[in-house]
Amino acid sequence: MSLPWAAEIHLFTPAVPETGAMPIVWAFPSTYNVGITSLGYQLIWGILAQRSDVRVSRLFTDGGEVLPSRPELVGFSFAWELDYPHIFNLLEQLGIPLLSHERQNHHPLVFGGGPVLSANPEPFANFFDVILLGDGEELIPNFLDNYQAIRNHNRPEKLLRLAQIPGIYIPQFYQPVYQSITGFLETVIPHPEVPPTIKRQTYKGNTLATSTVVTPHAAWENIYLVEVVRSCPEMCRFCLASYLTLPFRNAEINTGLIPAIQRGVAVTHRIGLLGPSVTQHPEFPELLTYLNQPEFDALRLSLASVRAATVDELLVETLVRHQSQSLTIAVESGSERLRQVINKKLTQPEIFQAAKVAQKGGLKGLKLYSIVGVPTENETDVQATVDLMQELRKIAPRLRLTLGCSTFVPKAHTPWQWLGVNPQAEKRLQFLSKHLGKLGVEFRPESYKDSLVQAVISRGDRRLTQLLLLTRNYGVSLGGIRRAFKELRGQLPPLDFYVHQDWSENRFLPWQHLTGTVGLAMLVSHRQRSFATAPSTAPPAGEWRVNSPESRG
């Protein structure tokens, strides 16, 4: 049986490792077909593999390349919260203690990056020696260059030197102080020889990420991915992709996008254009015109979610011409009022117009994304989503309508990071399922219970260390989480503290010593502005309150 990477087509020339090159394991905590589809994982692997001073081996949960007997560095690309047990499994497979303080001088340094760790690394702080905060294009080379100079130092000296590098977070040098073992975090005390805060690093080049490998074994078979834009200018109040990754950047069309597409079509006929808001690239119409040249007639094009206001005949014509069957739009809610609270700059007529253009242009389906449990949401707002889908059914009867729906989960570094999950969200998902089914709309809800698990991690602190180890055995599910909280009662705050409670704006947050582009004062301002549209239902700005009925009494 051939190995999956034997079928890979590489879009770069790997360097020949020099004598004494650093042995590195670059891991993804999921299967090969999932990991190799991740553009972030591919990007970092390409950077590592093109360095002659590095000998890199890839590792996935279902296998890997030939691994070094004694790697110096073991890194993880961490993109989804619920993958954390796989990190533990892979560390054990490599013979590395799970807790950083148990590692000795002969053990490799364990580092990690990716969206989960960039947002809030604190639940995982005791498992990683080094955490990279920010974009990898410059952060990874800087990390490796500095490590190269201290390879022969002992472990504490290495970590102290690395802690001086912008964007590199060494958790063991930052000590959290709590009011009590089950109380709020009061502050984080840094070691006297390290910076008091670490700023997330932002890559500002005009050439963004592209695939470094194309393979039939990826989750999206033989696809070549091109990052069109990074971040999003819309700044919806819940959105990590907006706030954490600012500023909004776009790849330059002539020196970035077109050369990238030319490299891709040389090896595959499937291209994916990625970004939180790809159609807001200032030269996106020019890119579509380029793709509509006869030489690209065999090209299959996939597109990330687009803004409804940017859906026009050229976009739909391009999608149909390149074998796309549907269009995806994030509407967040059918309620105009709630979209104003969210800061979603989208009107009902724009949604209807997008559906009309999609149907007229020959697309077969329209996929919409929404969210329930958003702050200030009420039953009228949820009914408005049903009404919206009903109206779309009338306006565009030939389109296959699909509504994906998630539950609001507070994310660090966003204006709603202080707010808990609304326990009414589960009933609202059930309401939508019942009523959309009657309309012939395909409803795809994300698991409410999984959202609660994500909330524990997204707002967690280091007191979750033992809980995460327990849930590895109990199962990464709400049931497993509840069991672990029950077993650890008195050793950390209750489940509702992390999931359902609203926190005061003047509380010190677990991730407050880790800063991004947007400062705390601006996040507070944006939070307050979002509720100015609904003052009577805005969550209070004072002490936390309990949303969950389980916490009463």
Is the pLDDT at 263 greater than 80? The verdict is yes
Q: Residue 516 — pLDDT band, cuts 50, 70, 90?
A: confident
pLDDT of residue 205: 86
**Orientation of helix 465-474 relative to helix 84-93, angle to 10°:** 90
d(CA 329, CA 376): 23
* Report field, pTM of the whole predicted structure over 0.85: yes
Q: Quick check: is 108 in a domain? A: yes
Neighbours of 82 (CB within 10 A): 16
> Do 316 and 273 touch, CB atoms closer than 8 A?
no
Q: Quick check: is 264 in a domain? A: yes
pLDDT of residue 1: 53
Q: Quick check: is 461 in a domain? A: no
266-291 pLDDT tens trace: 999 999 999 998 999 999 999 999 99
Q: Residue 10 — pLDDT band, cuts 50, 70, 90?
A: very high
Q: What is the CATH number of the domain that holds 245?
A: 3.20.20.70
Domain end: 191, 211, 230, which one?
Answer: 191
Supply angle C-alpha 270, 276, 278, rounded to 5: 55
> Do 131 and 171 touch, CB atoms closer than 8 A?
yes
Torsion of CA 463, 469, 475, 476, to 10 degrees: 50
- Looking at the structure, tell me whether residues 103 and 239 fall in a common domain: no
d(CA 274, CA 229): 7
pLDDT of residue 73: 98
Given its phi and psi angles, is residue 455 left (phi above 0), alpha (psi -120 to 50 degrees) or beta? alpha
- Looking at the structure, tell me whether residues 127 and 177 fall in a common domain: yes
Domain end: 416, 446, 476, which one?
Answer: 446
- Looking at the structure, tell me whether residues 253 and 359 fall in a common domain: yes
Neighbours of 510 (CB within 10 A): 24
- What is the chain's alpha carbon radius of gyration, rounded to the nearest angstrom? 24
Torsion of CA 151, 61, 38, 117, to 10 degrees: -60
Is the pLDDT at 400 greater than 80? The verdict is yes
Q: Quick check: is 398 in a domain? A: yes
> Do 407 and 372 touch, CB atoms closer than 8 A?
yes
- Looking at the structure, tell me whether residues 65 and 163 fall in a common domain: yes
DSSP classification of residue 210? B
In 3D space, the residue among 515, 370, 494 whose CA is nearest the CA of residue 431 turns out to be 370
- Looking at the structure, tell me whether residues 236 and 184 fall in a common domain: no
Element (H, E) at 329: strand 326-332
- Looking at the structure, tell me whether residues 155 and 236 fall in a common domain: no
What is the DSSP secondary-structure string of 465-495? HHHHHHHHHH-SSHHHHHHHHHHTTTSS--H
13-37 pLDDT tens trace: 999 999 999 999 999 999 999 999 9
- Looking at the structure, tell me whether residues 187 and 308 fall in a common domain: no
- Looking at the structure, tell me whether residues 133 and 175 fall in a common domain: yes
Q: Please give the average per-residue pLDDT across 298-307, as a whole number.
A: 94
Q: Quick check: is 417 in a domain? A: yes
Q: Tokens at residue 227, please?
A: 């990052």
Q: What is the CATH number of the domain that holds 39?
A: 3.40.50.280
- Name beta bridge partners: 440: none
Strands 22-27 and 73-77 come out as parallel
DSSP classification of residue 370? E
- Looking at the structure, tell me whether residues 115 and 259 fall in a common domain: no
Q: Residue 532 — pLDDT band, cuts 50, 70, 90?
A: confident
User: What is the distance, to the nearest Å, from the Cα of residue 490 to the centroid of all Cα atoms in its chain?
Assistant: 32
Q: Residue 2 — pLDDT band, cuts 50, 70, 90?
A: low
d(CA 48, CA 457): 29
d(CA 549, CA 426): 13
Q: Residue 533 — pLDDT band, cuts 50, 70, 90?
A: low
Q: Quick check: is 294 in a domain? A: yes
- Looking at the structure, tell me whether residues 183 and 252 fall in a common domain: no
Is the pLDDT at 157 greater than 70? The verdict is yes
Domain count, the chain: 2
Q: Quick check: is 497 in a domain? A: no
Q: Tokens at residue 121, please?
A: 């690394």
Q: Quick check: is 433 in a domain? A: yes
DSSP classification of residue 538? P
- Looking at the structure, tell me whether residues 134 and 249 fall in a common domain: no
- Name beta bridge partners: 400: 365
Q: Tokens at residue 376, please?
A: 């200030």
Domain end: 446, 474, 492, which one?
Answer: 446
> Do 381 and 533 touch, CB atoms closer than 8 A?
no
Given its phi and psi angles, is residue 270 left (phi above 0), alpha (psi -120 to 50 degrees) or beta? beta
Is the pLDDT at 537 greater than 90? The verdict is no
pLDDT of residue 548: 38
Residue found by looking up tokens 């991740």 in the block: 38
Its domain, for residue 8, covers 4-191
What is the percent of the chain where pLDDT is above 70? 96
d(CA 516, CA 241): 12
> Do 52 and 21 touch, CB atoms closer than 8 A?
yes
Higher pLDDT, 363 or 544: 363
Is the pLDDT at 303 greater than 50? The verdict is yes
> Do 430 and 93 touch, CB atoms closer than 8 A?
no
Element (H, E) at 445: strand 442-445
Q: Which residue type does 370 have?
A: S
- Looking at the structure, tell me whether residues 260 and 162 fall in a common domain: no
pLDDT of residue 542: 37
> Do 178 and 132 touch, CB atoms closer than 8 A?
no
199-215 pLDDT tens trace: 999 998 889 999 999 99
Phi, psi for residue 433 in degrees, rounded to 5: -60, -45
> Do 143 and 127 touch, CB atoms closer than 8 A?
no
Q: Residue 69 — pLDDT band, cuts 50, 70, 90?
A: very high
Element (H, E) at 76: strand 73-77
Is the pLDDT at 534 greater than 80? The verdict is no
Supply angle C-alpha 56, 62, 63, rounded to 5: 35
pLDDT of residue 553: 27
Measured on CA atoms in the order 151, 152, 158, 164, is the torsion positive or negative? negative
Is the pLDDT at 379 greater than 70? The verdict is yes
Q: Residue 395 — pLDDT band, cuts 50, 70, 90?
A: very high
Mean model confidence pLDDT for the chain = 94
Write the CB contacts of 425 (distance below 8 Å, at least 6 apart in sequence).
Answer: 372, 373, 407, 408, 448, 451
Is the pLDDT at 544 greater than 60? The verdict is no
Write the CB contacts of 71 (distance below 8 Å, at least 6 apart in sequence).
Answer: 23, 24, 25, 57, 94, 108
Q: Residue 546 — pLDDT band, cuts 50, 70, 90?
A: very low
Is the pLDDT at 535 greater than 60? The verdict is no
Neighbours of 472 (CB within 10 A): 18
91-127 pLDDT tens trace: 999 999 999 999 999 999 999 999 999 999 999 999 9
